[in-house]
Structure 1
């Protein structure tokens, strides 16, 4: 770092060094060295490519250490960087508005609440289709509600219902319009609002099945339709799944050509890659969201490639993913595609056995694995519910899972959909729920981040925050975990509203 004459290399080395020191500090508080290195980067490279990243890390370090004044100052510098350089060059412009707004909100006095609304309304005005725009509208609405600015609050809540109706914040907005400030304590929709949404869904034809792929749409559509109607696409996927038994703990695409050649899988993987590229080409050849739904529904329904279908629905890895996800929710046929009936009997059987809401189990599976039984994360989590190897091994010692199932290995057990569902339901019902005293929200959080991490987070929260469900969710430290929780909670609500499984509401 000291010897480099290239400023890009020097600042990258300084930034990486700071992050490494933070991870090595071994506590929730960032080390002094971490802050010192970030401050040095900010001062020495004010026009550098990592200036905004360093400011963000510094702001979040102060925030997590509870030094809110310094956090606000760092976030303000980050917003000023945005004003001088244009928000497209600032990776953290949205959070630089949302997070300080929530800091102001937590202080509670009317002046701070007013500052929070100003920040949030600037966010939704300047970036109308950003990752955090829906959050901006929701919190602007909620804080305006607390300031007794009812028209202002209704404007933001109605915007969410019109544009993000089945998203977490759209669903929470409905609760606030119905119940006002009381909504912040409610973990789940009540029957009245569920019925209201169900009627709107029926009127809006969102449950209709998408039309078949039109062969007149173009050459990609014709070729894809041919592979689906002939059964070729489905047969290739089934063969892929049979090959997985040779490498159960690795994705086939991660395996070298020599190993694939030894099991004669090279032609198969080439064919599968070509078929998925064909499906993507058909999806991208027409920009309307109805076409996207038709392609996603077809590859899921007729080829059983729900992994790809759900990636299309969620617009994974796409530059305009936020816009696409919001727009596709308004299309006829969305719910038939985005909420397919998968593993219904197995989920019902075990939900009754372990007293777990079936729609919750469905929602967790939907976002953890996209319904792909052999889903494998970079960390090694495997199966429909992404159980980690050490979790399985611990349960196997207690419950003799391999011995009783006759499965030869952990991997073979977890990629079996029937066994995987039964194990997760049992673990969630007998281990996770009891240690979270029956609280489903904390049980889902425990399942995602682990009991020890959850315990540390809760210890750092003010006691009163647990009476505010919405603020508690925003206080979860990991952005990835916050997104996962919002997605699961919304999917749980929607799956229950459309009655994927028989419950009291659906009778």
Structure 2
């Protein structure tokens, strides 16, 4: 098998109509964005190709060519600044200074950043006097720019930095320096709480601030509460939210803090206050749903009726919970049936209606009546095609149709899963059954499709023109610093700001928080207009490409080739294990990107004959992790599903499961894995693997596009 994966690059980069091919171990950028043709540009920002995925020499050559254009243009200015930034990253200050010469006049939008790079270049070149002169020039001409924060920090003006530019990342360093000299300074503790509440060691600082007796403002208490809450200190966050600025969000978070801190009576009271005082807010119906989760069943049923009467967007969820309570807790099957019928009649296209149809379908299947089960799935896919359960239901409907020999219906149901829910695990399973070259539960290891990495960047939906320009140039760290300056200290962000925040975090390898921010768009409480905006944002390729990036690509590619494992399967597993965080530690002590336990690391080292290694080093960790994934494959006859399950639960557990009931149908095997964690883990790893294929493999993209361009539903009717 040829383990070299072709990476097709834009033909325009080479000035040729033929695509380029790059070997598997080429340096690819994990942060490259979509092509201009496929990504909406927010605002009036012209696209640019920063070539960030190319090897260093090729990237330099391409940008130098653009930078040497005879006539001034935005393309030339952008190329010169991008080029200087690359030179600085590679410790070549002399070349950077040459690229920057006179650029501030040619490129006024980022003139202060030209000066910033010049000062950094002089610093790298050990020319302190020249660097100091440029820092002073920045302080004179751009005193209110975030670039001035760098100048203040470098020239020791930390107090001025804290006062004038308190939200700039450099201010965190200044505050910590001040605390090292006087640990009890409440003003510095409050500064960090307000502007840097994601600081990893913030909880002891918050404790010190709260115990200092300092008189905090309600907004400062809000910041303290958010930081405690995000660090799972729920009793402490409740105490802070009681003192925070009163609004629907802080009132709801007070209830959640009590709830998650297991103070149920206090939680009920707080949730009720949200519903009473902020009845028109998005948090009000969510608070009532929370009451249903923890109240006495009869009280919960009354709350459901209140939701149905006042909050139509949440009514279906309340009705299903009501029906389940009546059925399971209150022994009222007729009333439960009435609630379900009301749900199906008034909210037939909801997630909850889909859940009811799916329960009916599974009931028929368990009784052996596959025709009725398939008919129930068809009702689901026609009435609630966008429901969360529709992909799973249509896949299983396709399998049932295959079992009874109805190939037409099976194909229609499989295609539905791919067309309507292309990101789902069940879309991948459906594609496997349709014969697409995407592997299956047994063979994913061996999939070797060419894939492409888009490169052209366009604007993001929030942020200043300077931030947008820095992002488009691929100057991710400078863009991140600018974004933090513009948004830190804001107690709430709009969906567009959350989207932008997630994308730029992934751009600087803050993948854990970046991915979490983007995923939060599915769960935040917003009004109908904002929900529609979120749906539009989630259609942008950069949303999905940020959810599925390519960190540490060289190491992944090299070790995947060495082990003869699909690198996309490795990325899928790594994403699930660590969200690509090299230093992350699990509660059980697993280390790094592919979450290797120290004892397992020692065992792998003994098998490899290695005496010196560090699991916190990404190269060593990926080396050991891919070795172990290869080992779990070899231990299970190269069955990828068993190998992935073994990676999570251990080879012994998987061996016992197979021995006790056999392998049989692989989908049934996954469904019946006795460990909930491992069952979910297997689906998520393969879902990740599939999303890398669908986002970056042209052959898969083309097949999905063809399906989505066709009209009609599974009954042959036009939508």
The TM-score by the shorter chain falls in which range? Answer: 0.5 to 0.7
Of 165, 169, 172, 2:422 maps to 165
Secondary structure of the 2:549 match is coil
Distance 1:79 1:126 in 2: 21
CA gap of 1:95–1:336, structure 2 versus 1, over 3 A, is closer
Aligned partner of 1:391 in structure 2 is 600
- Summarize the Cα distance change of 1:460–1:379 in structure 2 as closer, same or farther, 3 Å threshold: same
Task: Show the 5 A alignment for 1:27-176.
Answer: 47=298, 80=337, 83=340, 98=358, 101-102=361-362, 104-105=364-365, 109=368, 112-121=369-378, 123-124=380-381, 128-149=385-406, 152-176=409-433
Match of 2:616 in 1: 415
Say if 2:443 and 2:640, in contact at 8 Å, map to a contact too: no
Equivalent residues in 2 for 1:473-492 (5 A)? 473-492=670-689
Q: CA 1:295–1:136 in 2, change beyond 3 Å: closer, same or farther?
A: same
Gaps of 5+ in 2: 1-258, 264-295, 302-319, 698-719
CA distance in 2, matches of 1:325, 1:106: 38
- In 2 relative to 1, CA 371–46 (structure 1 residues): closer, same or farther, beyond 3 Å? closer
Match of 2:554 in 1: 345
Q: Structure 2 residue aligned with 1:439, among 614, 633, 639?
A: 639
- The correspondence for 1:453, drawn from 639, 648, 653, is 653
Name the counterpart of 2:515.
310
1:289 equivalent in structure 2: none
Give the match for residue 300 of structure 1: 506
CA displacement 1:295-350 (0-9 Å, x = unmatched): 5443323x332333323444477258999999767534456434433212212322
**Relative to structure 1, is the Cα distance of residues 230 and 106 closer, same or farther in structure 2, using a 3 angstrom cutoff?**
closer
Query: Out of 212, 230, 233, which is 2:459 matched to?
Result: 212
State how far apart, in whole Å, the 2-side matches of 1:279 and 1:91 are: 31
Q: For structure 1, which segment, 468-477 or 226-235, has the greater mean C-alpha deviation from structure 2 after superposition?
A: 226-235
Taking a change above 3 Å as real, the CA distance of residues 331 and 151 of structure 1, as seen in their structure-2 partners, is: farther
Equivalent residue, structure 2, for 1:373: 582
Root-mean-square deviation over aligned CA pairs: 5.2
Provide the residue aligned with 2:273 in structure 1.
Answer: none
Distance 1:55 1:162, change over 3 A: closer
Q: Give SS of 1:385's match.
A: coil
Q: Equivalents in 2 of 1:327, 1:134: separation in Å?
A: 21
Residue 421 of structure 1 and its aligned partner are, at CA, apart by 0.8
Report the 3-state secondary structure (helix = DSSP H, G, I; strand = E; otherwise coil) of the residue aligned with 1:414.
coil
Closer/same/farther in 2, CA of residues 115 and 459 from structure 1, 3 Å limit: farther
Give 2:317's aligned residue: none
CA distance in 2, matches of 1:371, 1:224: 25
Secondary structure of the 1:404 match is coil
Residues in 2 aligned to 1:434 and 1:164: alpha-carbon distance in whole angstroms: 33
Query: Counterpart of 1:504?
Result: none
Conserved 8 A contact 1:359-1:495: yes
Structure 2: distance between partners of 1:471 and 1:455: 16
C-alpha distance in 1 between matches for 2:401 and 2:468: 51
Whole-Å separation in 2 of the counterparts to 1:334 and 1:230? 16
55 and 86 in structure 1: CA distance in 2 versus 1, 3 angstrom threshold: closer
Note the C-alpha offset of 1:425: 1.7
Cα deviation, 1:245-269, whole Å, max 9, x if unaligned, reads xxxxxxxxxxxxxxxxxxxxxxxxx
Checking the alignment, whether the CA contact within 8 Å between 2:377 and 2:394 is kept in structure 1 is yes
Task: Indicate how the Cα distance of structure 1 residues 221 and 307 shifts in structure 2: closer, same or farther if over 3 A, else same.
Answer: farther
DSSP 3-state at the match of 2:622: helix
Higher share of residues assigned helix: 1
| Aligned residue in 1 for 2:101 | none
Q: In structure 1, what is the equivalent of residue 612 of structure 2? A: 404
Give 1:361's aligned residue. 570
- The verdict on how the C-alpha distance between 1:151 and 1:400 changes in structure 2, with shifts beyond 3 A counting, is closer
Alpha-carbon distance in structure 2 between the residues aligned to 1:170 and 1:300: 26
Residue 208 to residue 230, structure 1, CA distance change in 2 (3 Å): closer
Does the C-alpha gap of structure 1 residues 170 and 104 become closer, same or farther in structure 2, counting only changes over 3 Å?
A: same
8 A Cα contact 2:441 2:641, kept in partner: no
Is the 2:442–2:640 contact (alpha carbons within 8 Å) kept by the matching residues of 1? Answer: no
Give distance in 1, aligned partners of 2:377 and 2:488.
40
TM-score (norm 1): 0.56
Per-residue deviation, residues 93-118 of structure 1 (Å, max 9, x unmatched): 876764674565366x4xx2134234
Q: Which residue of 1 aligns with 2:91?
A: none
Distance 2:562 2:584 in 1: 25
**Contact 2:441-2:639 within 8 A present in 1 as well:** no
Q: TM-score, normalised by structure 2?
A: 0.41
Instruction: Kindly provide the CA deviation profile for residues 118-169 of structure 1, in whole angstroms up to 9, marking residues without a partner as x.
Output: 4434555665544422111222233234445555444433332322224322
Task: Please tell me whether the aligned partners of residues 402 and 410 of structure 2 are also in contact (alpha carbons under 8 angstroms).
Answer: yes
Structure having the higher Rg: 2
The runs of 5 or more residues in structure 1 that have no matched partner are: 1-8, 14-44, 60-73, 237-270, 287-291, 406-412, 501-507
CA contact (8 A) 1:79 1:93 kept: no
* 1:210-245 deviations in Å (ceiling 9; x for gaps): 5133xxx65x55696599769467679xxxxxxxxx
Paired residue total: 370
Counterparts of residues 271-282 of structure 1 (less than 5 Å)? 281=493
